[in-house]
Amino acid sequence: MAGARRGPTRLRPLPCRLPVLAGQVPLAPAPGRSAGTICPRGRGIVDPRFHPRRWMMLPEGHGLHPREGSKKRFFNLSSGAFVRPRLPLLRDHFVLSSAEGLFVIVRGQQYGNSVCLLHPFTGDVVELPENITMPVDITLPEILRPLSLPTNAFAAVSTSPDGVVWVMIAFQNTPFILLASTRHKRWSVSALPFYPHASPLSFKGKLYMLQEQRSSSELNIFRINPPWQEHSTTSGLPSSSLLSPKLVATCPADKFPTPELVECDSEILVLGNREATQTMLIYRLADLAQGMFIPVKSIGGNALLIDTKRNPSFSFSAVPAITGDTIAFADRIFAKYILQYHLSSDTWSSRVGGCEEHGCSMECCTCSLIDHMCNICRCVSKW
């Protein structure tokens, strides 16, 4: 059983400060709070009101580190705004996953696999236990040594009422979750009674997962709460506390041959592809939980990007190349095409073009923003 840390949650600021950035980018204050409230004062991680949920860090090709003075490109999925903050920690840290706009970052084995939560705009850092189980460059716990862990990690971050930050990390198609808090010294492993299907979804500090039961032709949707919500306290709660998946909804599997979970407009949607007609179906999880199968015909003019790792939703005005009520699919296997499904007409299309002028060899890359969001463009362009 893991020991408990003494003292309050430790917050360590980055070596750099971002006064200009903080003055330009409001950090999603809670409803009823002034939109001009932009000073978290060291609580950018502990206080969920300051989490930059609608910001996406654009990929940098195949590299892990910033290519220009420790800067990274961030894109607002709602407004289309761009910022380029300096993130010195990313020079020697690997971004394992993100949740609520925060980064779970890890340093290499030679540094004890130190793990932190980073707020990319305020520079706030919360330290987590070291020696996290990682897919590369680490020594695995004995029970996991036979396994080859995937690199697709999905984190959920939450803060208990007494200010303890909890992190849960799931891996695609892997039946366990890593768990730790700022009050503990070790990461623990909580086994799941099933293999998750498709990508888990992080939503408001919880993890949502799909389980496909072939024997009964059913699709189960589970929610996993952080331990502090299950026990209503963190006092004396060990990091090894078992996680108990809660069944949210059960659906006929034939409605979702290739299901995906997506967050859009602060609610969870379940997507499926009817293979016989190649028609995309979208349902609200809240409806499925009530046993109602009511297809969604519009997603409020938004667009969805399904890329097998992250499934963000964005405003069509933020990405002019994509029209509203569209589902875009990135082909990560061949890194070649972007397919689009148009809900209004129930039709498919694909993006075509070329960009030899930028030296990009991708056959169908147009050097547009959506190509960079899907990481199929390696060009040095205006984005």
Asked if 193 and 246 touch (Cβ cutoff 8 Å), the reply is no
Same domain, 200 and 279: no
User: What domain range includes position 198?
Assistant: 1-204
Same domain, 184 and 308: no
Quick one: which of 312, 314, 316, 333 has its CA closest to 324?
A: 316
Quick one: which of 68, 101, 102, 98 has its CA closest to 85?
A: 68
- Assigned domain for 59 exists: yes
Same domain, 163 and 272: no
Top mean-pLDDT range of 210-219, 240-249, 257-266, 308-317: 257-266
What digits encode the pLDDT tens for the residues 286-296? 999 999 999 99
Q: 3-state DSSP helix/strand/coil percent for the chain, to nearest 5?
A: 10, 35, 55
Q: pLDDT tier at 203 (50, 70, 90 boundaries)?
A: very high
Report the distance separating Cα 30 and Cα 134, nearest Å: 34
- Which pair of tokens denotes residue 377? 């463009």
Of the listed ranges 110-119, 130-139, 142-151, 214-223, the least confidently predicted one is 142-151
Q: How many domains does the chain have?
A: 2
Top mean-pLDDT range of 20-34, 303-317, 326-340, 353-367: 303-317
Residue whose token pair is 């984005």: 383
Q: Record the pTM.
A: 0.79
Report the distance separating Cα 335 and Cα 61, nearest Å: 12
β-pair partners for 261 = 270
Report the distance separating Cα 226 and Cα 338, nearest Å: 36
- Assigned domain for 150 exists: yes
What digits encode the pLDDT tens for the residues 124-160? 999 999 877 654 433 444 443 443 444 578 999 999 9
> Over the chain, what is the mean pLDDT?
75
CB atoms within 10 A of CB 218: 14
Same domain, 188 and 277: no
- Assigned domain for 220 exists: no
Report the distance separating Cα 341 and Cα 227, nearest Å: 39
- Assigned domain for 366 exists: yes
Quick one: which of 323, 316, 368 has its CA closest to 349?
A: 323
Coil, strand or helix at 7: coil
Asked if 221 and 209 touch (Cβ cutoff 8 Å), the reply is yes
- Assigned domain for 234 exists: no
Report the distance separating Cα 199 and Cα 210, nearest Å: 8
* More confidently predicted of 289 and 276: 289
Checking if the pLDDT of 371 tops 80, the result is no
What digits encode the pLDDT tens for the residues 55-84? 988 776 433 444 555 677 888 999 889 888
Asked which of 142, 176, 204 is the last residue of a domain, the reply is 204
- Letter for the amino acid at 70? S
* Percent over 90 (pLDDT), the chain: 26
Checking if the pLDDT of 174 tops 50, the result is yes
